[in-house]
Structure 1
Amino acid sequence: MAQSSFTSTDSQVQTELKKVVIQNEHGENLVGLLHDTGSLEIVVMCHGFRSTKEFNVLVNLAAALEMEGISVFRFDFAGNGESEGSFEYGNYRREAEDLRAVVLHFNGMNRPVTAVLGHSKGGNVVLLYASKYHDVHTVVNLSGRFNLQHGMETRLGKSFLERIRKDGFIDGKTEPGEASYRITEAGLMDRLNTNMNEACVQIEKDCRVLIVHGSADEVVPVEDALSFGNTIHNHKIHIVEGADHCYTSHQDELGPVILPFIKDGLQQHKYA
């Protein structure tokens, strides 16, 4: 593990921000930032599709948890941000294994990961993690997509499946200023073959899942939150009225919903 750090102080909590490097099972270095308040327990945060640990929702929630004295680790999946590896479309279960490497790293340091939180694709990743591994019992899914066969036509254009089978790849559409990326047939099939319904029914009943979604989400319809709720045994749903996919004008409404859920899970872990 390589790390560098600096310390920030407010009237209640002293936090050390450390850069931490963790190797995944493929030998790639995953780079993250540990907001170390001194608490043994850690909350791990996961970004979404072609995003990074610097996504403002994660940064703001990390700051809010800091104020409660809770340590947070936010990191870049392989092929994203500062982490090593090549970006690949799909990779849902591989990113769940990146998360596994992070959890094992901190557990091995006697700093248990008590909660995982993910936004958008990261929401899918934390649920996939909970369906396979049963060592984290508080999960927060922010704006994840239930049916991964939906939503691709907007990004890839019509007849994307025929085109990728003909040419072997599609170049993904990007926003102005973003780097282009290539989608292979293998990557596309990885997404199409990732079944969230099958995964969610494997999440154990003692795993608490909070589902948060914006009512005005323009990327993933709010109905997906209800589909998750119909599948996951032990869950709560909170709809943020008027919020878009990135909670652009609703950042302040997330903390009061998510923090109590994570703190309740932390208390249950302490007295388990």
Structure 2
Amino acid sequence: MERRVAFTNPHSEKLAGVFVDAGSEDVVILCHGYAATKDGFHLPAIAEALAQHGRSSLRFDFAGNGESEGQFSFGGYWREVEDLRAAVDFVRRELHKHVAAVVGHSKGGNVVLLYGSRYDDVPLIINVAGRGVMAKGIKERFGADILDQLAAAGAVEQAVKADGGRLIKYMLTKEAVEERMKMDMFAEAAKIKAEVLTIHGTADRVIPIEDGRAWDAHIPRHRLLEVEGGDHNFRAAPEHRQQVVAAIVAEVTAAAERRGSGAGKGEGVPDRQA
């Protein structure tokens, strides 16, 4: 059921993925967050649960992360959108299947939303704890004087602990921080025509629940599921993870039924090439 795959992004970097084949024509693409990998967060558990319900999935490492080629960096949201585009194309052209949904956690949540704003060709987007107000979180992560440091030096060396405990050293650049701070996620989200489910923990201290609640005012076809007491990674209690996994499976299944598509038939609205 599970096999390793690889495909290339527009920058000729090879991206590593895992395809879980449950026999369905529909495929759900799973996207990790900042300094994470395809086997981080709860992505393997989500893939397993989807397979148990007859749904295939593809999870992959963004460029510079995990087993994929490229250089790790902070920011680069639109570049990761193009990595996701490469994954969508791989499913269509190499696997000859349909993309039923894209799911992303944290930074990956932003990426799947941005994908929906640029490409209207996936019917369901699931945003798990993605950030709404992009100017926030910089000083909290890097220190109160980080903007002054970047203004003076242009770049500052940083280290982040990635999935598995591996320490990644990289250069945080003024351009990367400015790109994020100037990004208007709500304006981009307003362009999305797909159905969107946001899942957000009420006790998230990394990205507050207020960000999750704010999407309602900007995304036309949006629904919010609040996980009571859930933290950013939904690890405070086992039931939080279970609730997230179950909600994703239920939403994918319900969306397919609304489109008139069964698990193994892939008969719904065809993918539209943008």
Tell me if TM exceeds 0.5: yes
Q: Structure 2 counterpart of 1:108, which letter?
A: R
Tell me by how many angstroms 1:91 deviates: 0.5
Structure 2 unaligned segments of length 5 or more: list them: 262-266, 270-274
Question: Given that residues 35 and 160 in structure 2 are in contact (C-alpha distance below 8 angstroms), is that contact kept between their aligned partners in structure 1?
Answer: no
Taking the aligned partners of 1:229 and 1:76, their CA distance within structure 2 comes to 29
Q: Kindly, what percent of the aligned residue pairs are identical?
A: 37
Taking the aligned partners of 2:19 and 2:8, their CA distance within structure 1 comes to 15
Matched, 1:197 2:186: yes
Q: Which residue of 1 aligns with 2:195?
A: 208
Q: Which residue of 2 aligns with 1:3?
A: none
What is the DSSP-based 3-state SS (H/G/I as helix, E as strand, rest coil) of the residue aligned with 2:167? coil
What is the DSSP-based 3-state SS (H/G/I as helix, E as strand, rest coil) of the residue aligned with 2:125? strand
Q: Structure 1 counterpart of 2:243, which letter?
A: E
Q: Which residue of 2 aligns with 1:157?
A: 143
Q: Which residue of 2 aligns with 1:142?
A: 128
Corresponding residue to 2:175 among 150, 172, 186: 186
Taking the aligned partners of 1:71 and 1:194, their CA distance within structure 2 comes to 33
Corresponding residue to 1:60 among 22, 40, 45: 45
Taking the aligned partners of 2:99 and 2:123, their CA distance within structure 1 comes to 9
Taking the aligned partners of 2:27 and 2:268, their CA distance within structure 1 comes to 16
Taking the aligned partners of 1:97 and 1:56, their CA distance within structure 2 comes to 22
Matched, 1:77 2:77: no
Corresponding residue to 1:101 among 62, 70, 86: 86
Q: Structure 1 counterpart of 2:92, which letter?
A: N
Tell me by how many angstroms 1:177 deviates: 5.5
* TM-score when normalising by structure 1: 0.90
Taking the aligned partners of 2:125 and 2:211, their CA distance within structure 1 comes to 17
Tell me by how many angstroms 1:264 deviates: 1.8
Q: Which residue of 1 aligns with 2:15?
A: 30
Structure 1 unaligned segments of length 5 or more: list them: 1-15
Taking the aligned partners of 2:227 and 2:179, their CA distance within structure 1 comes to 30
Q: For CA contacts below 8 A with separation 6 or more, give which structure has more relative contact order.
A: 2
Taking the aligned partners of 1:180 and 1:28, their CA distance within structure 2 comes to 20
Matched, 1:128 2:114: yes
Deviates more, 1:187-196 or 1:168-177: 168-177
Tell me by how many angstroms 1:178 deviates: 2.4
What is the DSSP-based 3-state SS (H/G/I as helix, E as strand, rest coil) of the residue aligned with 2:50? helix
* TM-score when normalising by structure 2: 0.90
Q: Which residue of 1 aligns with 2:264?
A: none
Taking the aligned partners of 2:41 and 2:64, their CA distance within structure 1 comes to 20
User: Given the superposition, is the C-alpha separation of residues 19 and 257 from structure 1 closer, same or farther in structure 2, using an over 3 Å criterion?
Assistant: same
Tell me by how many angstroms 1:216 deviates: 0.6
Deviates more, 1:106-115 or 1:212-221: 106-115
Q: Structure 1 counterpart of 2:106, which letter?
A: S
Matched, 1:111 2:97: yes
CA RMSD of aligned residues (A): 1.4
Taking the aligned partners of 1:179 and 1:209, their CA distance within structure 2 comes to 33
Tell me by how many angstroms 1:254 deviates: 1.3
Deviates more, 1:175-184 or 1:55-64: 175-184
